[in-house]
Structure formats: structure tokens, C-alpha cells
Structure 1
Amino acid sequence: MLTHPTHERLITLGLTGMAKAFEEQRRSPDLDTLPFEERVGLLVDREAAERDTKRLTTRLKFAALRQSACVEDVDLRTPRGIDRSIFARLVGGEWIDRNENLLITGATGLGKSWIACALGQKACRDNRSVQYHRVPRLFEALALARGDGRYGRLLKTIGRIQLLILDDWGLSVLNPPERRDLLEILDDRHGRASTIVTSQVPVEHWHDVIGDPTLGDAILDRLVHNAHRLQLSGESMRKQNARNQTLDANSNP
């Protein structure tokens, strides 16, 4: 079957969604009964949906989230200290509009990274810019950027992101360059953008992780005072999942 010239023109103009919908309408005789305005509306709706999908794909690629998590899949039934009403407000995202932060703490295996990535994915769906970093690797990237002249540009990029996720904070005491890097990042973002931090270390011990009283006060002043908190507790989700898989395997001969 020869390609319709209108279909080719739509593709040339970059209207791939409309082109797909146009072909679908040509192959569906039932749509001939629809009024002209409705058929055009279907074309426009398809183009809008196609563009939304492309933008979301681009945002998710830029975000580089560690886990493919979404808020609809977050387990709120297992006792972990997650208040449903508070989590619902976090999912709503108004705190990001207010440039507030979120601190997620708790022992390993409780799903801190999963929750952070799920909120990041929701922010991408809400047309916000997001970027995920494991803190140790971020410091490595900043050290390399300092050496090859990209440091200022990298800090500027991080400062503009609407939601920055700093995962695995506090695994070791910061050295002097890392303290300065963290202060620069948080100072650029303070009152202008939101940051999620996940850590196994309770917030009251973060001064010890920073390792310098003066810089510690400056860093925590920009991070903690306008922050929401999720303090997770209970049994490791990894252990529970492993136990459930073992039970399933034993129950299926």
C-alpha cells in the first residue's frame, strides 16, 4: 500500500504522533462516522501524548535513577514508620515547589533508595528536572571536574536541578574537599531547589560525619532546617523478600 502524502508530510514536520493517529484513522472505517472536529481532536491528542512521552523519557534518562521505582508500588502495608498522609503529601510534590528538602534515614534494607527514586520518578512525571547521585561517586566526579576545568560548570548544572537526590550519605567521614563541595552544592540550592538525602546515619549524628564543626553548622543549616523527615524502622525489606521467595519456592514443588 502506498504511503499517503499527508502521512509523509506529518513525519517531515516532526508530528509523529499525528502521523500514527492519521494512519490508524485511515485503517479504521468506523471513524468515518465521527465529526471532522472530533477526528482532528484525536490527532492532536495523540501528538500531545507522544510529546509528553518523549519529554518524560528524556527527563528519566537525565535523572539516571538507581532503581526503576514508582510511588504507586511503594509498600505502605509493611510497618516501616511511614505515615500514609505524610507520604501522600510528599507524592503531591508541593514541597518541591516550596524548595524544601526531604531526609530519609534508617537501617540498611528498609527501602530508602527505593522511596527516593520513586519520588524522583514522580517528579519527572510532574515535569520537574531530577538527578540522582550516590554521594561517594558524586564526590569522585567533582574531584575529576576540578582537575579538568569542568568544576564550575558541573556545580552550576547541579544547582539548577529542581530535585537532587543524594543517596548513601554518611558512609564515611568527609575530607576537606568533600566538605567544601557539599557546602557549595547546598548553598547554591538553598531556597531555590529541593534535595532528598538518604542515610543510614541518624540526623543527630551528621555533624560527626561532616567532621568539621564550623562547616557542619553551615551545611546542616542549609539542609536540615526546612526539611521533611522519613525515619524508617523495622525489619529489612530485603530479608523479608528473600524469606517470601523461599516460602514460595517451597510451596511450589
Structure 2
Amino acid sequence: MSDPIRSMCKSLRLAYVAEIYETIPFESPSQYLEAIFNEEFSLREKAKVQRLIKNAKFLDAKNLSNYEWNERIRFPAQIDKEALMSLDFIKQQQNVVLIGSPGTGKTHLATGLGRKACEMGHEVRFFRVSHLIEQLEQALKQDKLPSFRKKFEKVDLIILDEMGYLPFSKEGSELLFQLIAEWYEQKSLIITSNLEFSQWNRIFIDSRLTAALVDRLIHHAHVLTYSGGSYRLSNALSKAK
């Protein structure tokens, strides 16, 4: 392709036409234009999904296609597996809370749902809760808390992984509460925890703050519970035999 045509593609923001025009079969002018534009749209969509996945900052590449659903996962009455995977809860600014022992597959499901949300065009962010607390405390010390919170304005789904694995300071608890309070009925959250709600006082020092936080989280939430012990451990032991 000549430089002038490449320049025009750039001006028209046709990011891929210059690279693919020779690969499109030509049967007629209208067919060719339709085919090349369809390919442009398709490649743009793929690039967008990859950008969303990169911005989400998942810790691994786990997805729903290799998730092992089993009878140990107890769904609430108002939602089932298919409804959960439809991600309608995001459109309704509802939350999903996954509670169970470590190693039972909660993070895998949360990541898989988050990755599918990216594929559907949603802005997603993934955090280990302890890391989010660290970032909040650092932003506060540097007087950058407003700008840090502003980063979530266009985010549709926030995944908070491992709530309860580490206790928080009073300051960290308050900062997290303020953030979740801002997201209430504005964003969807997926939270994984090894503790039942009645045990969250172990990580949040203030019992009144804990009660207010839980109240906001479960008001529009689907709570899934995992019974049994660690799947990772049992799987490792079975392979060792």
C-alpha cells in the first residue's frame, strides 16, 4: 500500500485496513468494501477486549471454560449457574459474594466472570484486598486519594479477592469502607472471602463499620457458599499417590 493511502487510513482511524487489504478476496466492489470493513470492526473488537483484560490486571489467565462446577457450590434461590454467567448482575449493579475455605475455586470463578465481562465490553478491575488497602493508604499519605478514587469512575465491575485473609488497620478499614460506600448501587462487586459475614469483625476493627459495610454489600448481592475443604490440596494429594 502506498504511503498516501496508508496516511489516509491513519487519518480515518482505520487501524487495520492497511495491513489486511491484500488478504480480502475481491468479488465485487461492494463485497470487498463490506468484507474489509467487517474485518476492521472485528479486529478492533478483539483489540478492545485485550485492552480491557490488560487493564483489569488479573493475576492469571483462568476463565470459565475450564472452571469445574460441582455440587459443593451452593447458589441462592434467586440465581443459578446460567444466570450468573449471563452477567446480568453487572447491568443491575448487583454484587456477587463467594464464601468458602481457601482452595475451593472462588478466585477462579471470580476471575472467569471478570474475564467474560471484559469480553462483553465491561471495564473491570481485579484487586487482592490487601494490595488495594496498601494502595489506598499510600494514596492518602501522598494526598492523592481523590485522584485514586477517580480511577474507578468508568469501571463497571470490581473484583475484591481474599477478603479476610489478612486483618486491616483501622485506617485501612475506613478507607476501604469509604470506597465501597461510593460504589454502592453504582458498581458491581465480586468478593471472595474465607470468612462468613459474622466473622468479618476479625478483619474490620470497628463493629459498627463492619455492620454498615456488610449491609451495603449484601443489599443487592448473590451470595454463593462453598462447602468442603481445599480442592487444590485434595487434587495435589491425589496426584501424589
Amino acid in the other structure paired with 1:214: R
| Offset at residue 7 of structure 1 (A) | 5.8
| Offset at residue 174 of structure 1 (A) | 2.8
Distance 2:57 2:49 in 1: 12
1:225 aligned residue (219, 224, 227):
219
Structure with more helix by fraction: 1
Distance 2:80 2:40 in 1: 36
The match for 1:122 is 116
The match for 1:35 is 28
Q: 2:106, 2:192 within 8 Å by CA — same for their partners in 1?
A: yes
Amino acid in the other structure paired with 2:187: A
Q: Could you say what secondary structure the match of 1:66 adopts?
A: coil
* Structure of higher RCO (CA pairs closer than 8 Å, 6+ residues apart): 2
Distance 2:7 2:165 in 1: 56
Greater Cα offset, 202-211 or 7-16: 7-16
Q: Could you say what secondary structure the match of 1:16 adopts?
A: coil
| Offset at residue 79 of structure 1 (A) | 3.5
RMSD of equivalent CA atoms: 2.2
Distance 1:101 1:55 in 2: 25
Amino acid in the other structure paired with 2:17: M
Q: 2:101, 2:226 within 8 Å by CA — same for their partners in 1?
A: yes
- Identity percentage of aligned residues: 24
Distance 1:244 1:10, change over 3 A: farther
| Offset at residue 171 of structure 1 (A) | 1.7
Distance 1:213 1:238 in 2: 33
Amino acid in the other structure paired with 1:193: K
2:195 aligned residue (195, 201, 208):
201
Distance 2:88 2:62 in 1: 20
Amino acid in the other structure paired with 2:19: K
1:211 aligned residue (196, 205, 216):
205
Q: Could you say what secondary structure the match of 1:192 adopts?
A: coil
Amino acid in the other structure paired with 1:80: R
Distance 1:16 1:158 in 2: 28
Q: 1:105, 1:232 within 8 Å by CA — same for their partners in 2?
A: yes
TM-score of the aligned structures, taking structure 1 as reference length: 0.85
Amino acid in the other structure paired with 2:174: R
- Higher CA-based Rg: 1
Q: 2:170, 2:204 within 8 Å by CA — same for their partners in 1?
A: no
The match for 1:53 is 46
The match for 1:176 is 170
| Offset at residue 10 of structure 1 (A) | 5.7
Query: Does 1:153 find its partner at 2:147?
Result: yes
Distance 1:93 1:198 in 2: 17
Distance 1:137 1:192 in 2: 22
Q: 2:63, 2:116 within 8 Å by CA — same for their partners in 1?
A: yes
Residues 195-249 of structure 1: CA deviation (Å, up to 9, x unaligned): 11101111232244322122112211211221101111234221344346557xx
Q: Could you say what secondary structure the match of 1:158 adopts?
A: coil
TM-score of the aligned structures, taking structure 2 as reference length: 0.89
The match for 1:97 is 91
Q: Could you say what secondary structure the match of 2:152 adopts?
A: helix
Residue correspondences, number: 238
Q: Could you say what secondary structure the match of 1:210 adopts?
A: coil
Amino acid in the other structure paired with 1:93: L
Distance 1:11 1:243 in 2: 57
Greater Cα offset, 116-125 or 53-62: 53-62
Amino acid in the other structure paired with 2:48: R
Amino acid in the other structure paired with 1:215: L
Q: 1:70, 1:122 within 8 Å by CA — same for their partners in 2?
A: yes
